[in-house]
Structure 1
């Protein structure tokens, strides 16, 4: 099997209770990640993993597979890579690549995931362990020393001399299991990058204000999200 999309969807969020099933323009937040994976031609299978029967039933109604998640793997301190390893050990047909899609990034474009996944499938396994979804970051960074701000580059800035810098968004992670979460190195040591085509729509939902931002973007840019039935 080539690519399996794995969507962790526990219901133990504290800052935004039951976050993964919160309403976003008429659909639960989880819907957007499942739909995205189903629209991605490179993805062979979509798996939703949750300790919640409600979430598992909803995922199955969307046409995804559901995996009941043990309570001990649903605690705040448990990283997704530990859940991935537990799930992967149960799989009969092991995928070459796992696309980790956290439901908190609902406004992705399927072409981004498809392009990154196909490129990674075509590469030799020796090239990339993990592919990150990134956006260009053009901000002035620095450190605080003795209550003074020390910028990373001299001021005034000459951006033509600065290297282009990028930020990992967490929108998706493409992982080779044998090089990452199966080895004790969550992301391996060789990183690829896919630059998201629409960085202005990148929202990571952690609090109610983030959910409202996503709702505003969906409603204001409906033509950009026509692949979602609710847009």
Structure 2
């Protein structure tokens, strides 16, 4: 069995009520729920929230909210893994533990159902414990610059600043969309997500956007509308 777990607490600070604000005409939370429903590989969708309004909207769009998340797992310092582990422990106590669990972030309007299916297939075909969405850095991070206290500039990595981009190793970052894992791996805590225990499903840059500020939000809406007009092209994924 497979389960999607969507953490969606009510106390967002930078964009208040971010998880349920309307994004291009629908509550933000509805987008990952819809992607999970359309993926063809997720049997249950659970939303973990401490907020009754979020719970009601989650149910409206077809997700389960079988419990209200405890307050000690809903503060600014609680990590995602603890929230996923809590949901899986709730399922385990009822003898409903799935084989695979996918953590989906609530603010992922660019998330595509096909990527969820690809991620699960990668995990099932490997001996890894996790598969997560990632993207390439558009500029070599080894050539980053720092500002000195006096206002000057210094290289972050002096040994790399003079090298050509093609001579530097390719670098990636977490795309912040989804994290597939074996339920036992989420629960036992023996394997770290960003380690040799995981693989990356690398997404094209035009389908990755963090949403932490209102400027991010507006950029994501513009990108979503452009992609809707052009069609989300699954064949653009640069995995290799």
Summarize the Cα distance change of 1:84–1:144 in structure 2 as closer, same or farther, 3 Å threshold.
Answer: same
Which residues of 2 match residues 161-176 of structure 1 at below 5 A?
161-176=167-182
Which residues of 2 match residues 1-231 of structure 1 at below 5 A?
1=1, 3-66=2-65, 67-91=67-91, 92-123=95-126, 127-142=127-142, 148-149=154-155, 150-151=157-158, 153=160, 155-157=162-164, 159=166, 161-183=167-189, 185-187=191-193, 189-196=196-203, 198-223=204-229, 224=231
Q: TM-score, normalised by structure 1?
A: 0.86
Q: Say if 1:133 and 1:193, in contact at 8 Å, map to a contact too.
A: yes
Q: Say if 1:42 and 1:118, in contact at 8 Å, map to a contact too.
A: no
User: For structure 1, which segment, 132-141 or 32-41, has the greater mean C-alpha deviation from structure 2 after superposition?
Assistant: 132-141
**1:34 counterpart SS class:** helix
CA distance in 1, matches of 2:209, 2:138: 17
Q: Say if 1:134 and 1:194, in contact at 8 Å, map to a contact too.
A: yes
Q: TM-score, normalised by structure 2?
A: 0.83
User: For structure 1, which segment, 42-51 or 174-183, has the greater mean C-alpha deviation from structure 2 after superposition?
Assistant: 174-183
Query: Deviation digits for residues 147-168 of structure 1, max 9, x if unmatched?
Result: 6213452524050x33332222
Computed over aligned residues only, the root mean square deviation of the Cα atoms, in angstroms, reads 2.3
Deviation at 1:117, TM superposition (A): 0.8
CA distance in 2, matches of 1:191, 1:128: 6
**Structure 2, unpaired ranges of 5+:** 234-240
**2:29 counterpart SS class:** helix
Q: Say if 2:119 and 2:132, in contact at 8 Å, map to a contact too.
A: no
Deviation beyond 6 Å, 4+ runs, structure 1: none
Query: Deviation digits for residues 105-158 of structure 1, max 9, x if unmatched?
Result: 2211211111111221233xxx21111211122423247598621345252405
Query: Deviation digits for residues 196-227 of structure 1, max 9, x if unmatched?
Result: 1x32121111111111111111223323259x
